[in-house]
Chains A and B, each alone.
Chain A
C-alpha cells in the first residue's frame, strides 16, 4: 500500500494537480473566510467551512479523476495488477494519497482560524468538531470520485461524472424536500428500487429465478405492510433520499455535536465506495 501511496502523492506534486488543488482550496476557503468571518465580524469558523463546501464540486473531480482512469489509459494498470500487491492495497493507497492531499489543504487553511483567534475569543471545540465533519465529508466524496475513476479510462469523463454525482449528493436535501410524500408515490418509488435491485441481481447472476423470487417476496412484503400499516409509507422517498445527503449529516458537526451515528455514517459511506471499487476491479478481471 505504501508504494502506491508514495507514488500517487509524488504524482500530485510532479504535475500541476497538487499545486492547483492546494492553491484553489486555499483561495476559495480564503474568500469564504473573508465574506463569512471578517466582513460579518463573525467568530464562528464553521460558517466558512459550511460555505466553502461548494468548492468540492470542482476539487473532488480534480483530486480523483486521474487515479484509475489514467492508469487504464496508459495501460500501467497491467504493472500494478501483475505486481505482488493486492487490489485492496492499490485502492487503499490511492484513496489515502488523495485524502492526504485534502488534509494538507485543511492544514494550510488552518491559518484562517488561527488568525481569527488573535482577534476574538474562538470556540476551539466547536471549530475542531466542524473540521472533523469537514474532513469526513471530504473523505466520502473522494471515495465516490475514486470509484467513478475506475469506471472509465478517460479523465474528462471521470471528472464530469464526479462533478455530477457530487452535485447530486450536495443537492440531495433540496431534491428530497421537494419529493412527493403520498403513499402511492412511496409505493411507486419502492417498486422502482425493487426492480433496480432485481435487475442488478439478474445482471450479476444471470439467474432469472433468483431475481424473480426477490421481486415476488418484495411485492408480498410491501403488500402486507400496505394492508396492515400504510402509515409506514409516509415520506419514504424523503427519508431514503435524505440518507444519501452527506450535507445533512454535516449539520451536527457544524453545531459542534459529535454523534456516533454521523461518524458511522461517514465511515460506512466511504468504506462502501472503496469496497465497490475493489469489487468493480475484481469483476473486470473476471468478466
Chain B
C-alpha cells in the first residue's frame, strides 16, 4: 500500500512536482502517465527515497520514507529509468550483491535468485558480464534487481523503454504476472501500454495530477454512443427509419462507397447503447449491415485533451472542471465535424 500526500518538489524556483496526492491499494497495478518532463521520474524518485520531497509525505506500507527510511525501503523494489547495474559483474554476482544489500537471509538467497532468474528469463545469461548484455537484457536485470527480497511494492520507471516489440510484450506479460503478488506502480508515456496493464491510470502533467481514475472509466470517457455502420441498400430509407428513435440524435452519410454500400454515422444519445436498435431497425427494413463499429475517440485523443485541458486551465481549477471542459470540447468538435 502506498500513500502519497501533498507531495511537492521544487528545484530552486522550478516546481517539478506540485502537490500530488494519491493512494495505491494492495495488489493494484497503477499506471503513471504523462508527457516527457511531466514529473513522473521525480515523483518516483521521491517515493523511493532517492531524493527527498520539498513538502508532503510518502508512506510505504505505513512507514514514512523519510522518517523511517530503512523499514520503508525494505518493502520497496525500484527499477529506475536507467537500470542501476554494474557492468563489471555477472548477472548472478549482481543479484547476490543486491540480496546482500537488501539483507535477504543467506539460506533463502539461492532459491530466491533461481526463482527471479526464471521469472525474468535471465537464466541463459546469468554468468555473463552485464556490460556485454543488450539493452533489453539489462532492463530485465534491472527488473530482477527490483524483485529481490520479494518487496510488496514495485516501482517501475518506464520498464519497457528501449525494448524491441517482442520484449515489450514479454515485459507487459511479466508485469501483469507480478501484479498478482505485488503492488505495482509503473510510469510510461505510452498510453496503450498503460491501459493494457493497469487497473488505474494517473495522468500527470506539469507536475500536477490531471486525472486519476480506473482504466475502464477512462476508456468509457472515450464514449461509444456513436456508431459507424456500413450498409448495403437504400441509405435514405435507413436514415428515415433510424431517426424515428428518440435515442438516435442524428444520422449522416459518412461515405458513399460507390458500390451500393454506404457508410453511415449514427449519433446516439450520450451513455446509451444504440447497437441493438440499429440492428433491429435495419432488419425490419431488410437492409444488410456489413459492418458496425463504435466511433471512439482513441485513448490518445483523450490523453492529449486531458493534457492540453490542464495546460489551459488555471492552476486553481478542480479536476472535474477540466474534465467536463474537455468533454464539452469533444462534443463540439464532433458537432463541427458533423455539420
A residues whose Cβ falls under 8 Å from a Cβ of B:
2-4, 6-7, 11, 14-15, 74-86, 285-287
How long is the Cα–Cα vector from A77 to B70 in the complex, in angstroms? 16
How long is the Cα–Cα vector from A77 to B82 in the complex, in angstroms? 11
CB pair A83–B102 under 8 Å, yes or no, is: yes
CB pair A82–B82 under 8 Å, yes or no, is: no
Set A75, A84, A286: member contacting B82, Cβ < 8 A:
A75
How long is the Cα–Cα vector from A209 to B87 in the complex, in angstroms? 49
Q: Does B52 contact A (CB under 8 A)?
A: yes
Task: Taking A3-B100, A75-B84, A83-B98 as given, write out 8 further A-B residue pairs in contact, using a Cβ cutoff of 8 Å, ordered by the A residue number.
Answer: A4-B101, A6-B100, A79-B78, A81-B49, A81-B50, A82-B50, A85-B70, A287-B11
Give the total number of A-B pairs whose CB atoms are below 8 A apart: 73
Residues B29-78 near A (CB distance < 8 A): 45, 48-52, 69-71, 73-74, 76, 78
Given contacts A84-B102, A86-B69, contact A7 B97 (CB under 8 A): yes
How long is the Cα–Cα vector from A241 to B255 in the complex, in angstroms? 89
**A2 proximity list for chain B (CB < 8 A):** 100
How long is the Cα–Cα vector from A15 to B241 in the complex, in angstroms? 81
Closest B residue to A282 by beta carbon equals B52
**A76 proximity list for chain B (CB < 8 A):** 84-86
CB pair A84–B70 under 8 Å, yes or no, is: yes
**B101 proximity list for chain A (CB < 8 A):** 3-4, 7, 79-80, 83-85
Q: Does B88 contact A (CB under 8 A)?
A: yes
CB pair A83–B82 under 8 Å, yes or no, is: no
In order of increasing CB-CB distance, the 3 nearest A-B pairs are A79-B84, A3-B100, A82-B48
**A75 proximity list for chain B (CB < 8 A):** 80, 82, 84
Given contacts A84-B74, A86-B69, A86-B70, contact A79 B82 (CB under 8 A): no
Residues B94-110 near A (CB distance < 8 A): 97-98, 100-103
**A15 proximity list for chain B (CB < 8 A):** 88
**B139 proximity list for chain A (CB < 8 A):** none
Given contacts A84-B74, A84-B103, A85-B70, contact A11 B50 (CB under 8 A): no
CB pair A79–B87 under 8 Å, yes or no, is: no
Q: Can you list 20 A-B pairs, Cβ within 8 angstroms, ordered by A? A: A2-B100, A3-B101, A7-B101, A11-B86, A74-B85, A76-B84, A76-B86, A77-B50, A78-B48, A79-B101, A81-B49, A81-B50, A82-B49, A82-B76, A83-B101, A83-B102, A84-B70, A84-B73, A85-B101, A285-B51
**A287 proximity list for chain B (CB < 8 A):** 11
Q: Does B145 contact A (CB under 8 A)?
A: yes
Query: Min CB distance, A13 to chain B, in Å?
Result: 11
Set A74, A77, A79, A286: member contacting B98, Cβ < 8 A:
A79
How long is the Cα–Cα vector from A3 to B95 in the complex, in angstroms? 12
How long is the Cα–Cα vector from A77 to B45 in the complex, in angstroms? 12
**A4 proximity list for chain B (CB < 8 A):** 101
**A74 proximity list for chain B (CB < 8 A):** 84-87
How long is the Cα–Cα vector from A85 to B104 in the complex, in angstroms? 13
